[in-house]
Amino acid sequence: MDDMTGKVALVTGGASGMGRIIALRLAARGARVAIFDVNESGLEATAAEHPNITGWHCDIGNLEDVEAKVDQVEHTLGPIDHLVHGAALMPSHKLIDHTHESMQRLFQINYFGTTYVIQTALKGMLARRSGRIIAFGSIAGHAPVPHMGGYCATKSAVNTYIEILQNELRDSGVRVHLVCPPAVNTPLIDQTLATDSPGSIIEAKKSGRLANPEKIVDAIDKGVARDRDIIYPGEARLLMLWHALWPRLWWKTVLKFES
């Protein structure tokens, strides 16, 4: 990707996983990078790895907190040129076991958190008619699995929101990319494994089939460089097509892991 010297980037979920990797890469390319997370120790550890990175504790499910922290970033580092939104929750529960309260929290973080962060940062980008947004949806929004109905629903909503947004902003000067990764070996997957995880993910973890986060970020970089609207890194495109073309075979396969 291009040199980022003089640019300001905001990465949500920047304390761990792919957000951390992306923040470090942007900083190495010269960007002044703000990272948002609720993981205080992770924020400090990531910021300590490069002088261009500054951490902010931010609950993306709280609009007032998002607006206040984005304002702080722009007053401290400058107008945001580049937004990477990756923060999310990923617990697993059968739908009949998923409480209303936990489902609401999941949507508050995964879906409304997406709209809060993007629309807050987008205002300045639209005024300047320049900027780039890279938002993480998920292949889980296209190819759902049992025990993850809540998460899959939130990511289906995010996928739809971002795809429509990128087309509504086509002539605005702001470029929007949707990333739909497969299951990746990051701390986010640990939330799933610590709850009522799908058997397919448990097996993928045991067999070493979870995607390597560095390779997924490599694929995202290439997709952005090629100006892709929707980026399907790793095996994501195959999974999307499998579910779209052969849904009965898809469900027969994923349900085998639950027996």
Residues 51-103 have pLDDT tens digits of 999 999 999 999 999 999 999 999 999 999 999 999 999 999 999 999 999 99
In a domain, 201, yes or no: yes
In a domain, 59, yes or no: yes
Domain of 148, CATH number, reads 3.40.50.720
Q: In angstroms, what is the C-alpha Rg of the chain?
A: 18
- Say if residues 117 and 85 touch (Cβ distance below 8 Å): yes
In a domain, 79, yes or no: yes
**Whole-number percent of the chain with pLDDT over 90:** 98
- In this prediction, the residues of the chain whose per-residue pLDDT falls under 50 are none
In a domain, 206, yes or no: yes
Q: At what angle do helices 149-168 and 100-107 cross, to 10 degrees?
A: 30
pTM: 0.96
Total of domains in the chain = 1
In a domain, 53, yes or no: yes
In a domain, 38, yes or no: yes
In a domain, 2, yes or no: no
Which residue range is the domain that position 138 belongs to?
8-256
In a domain, 194, yes or no: yes
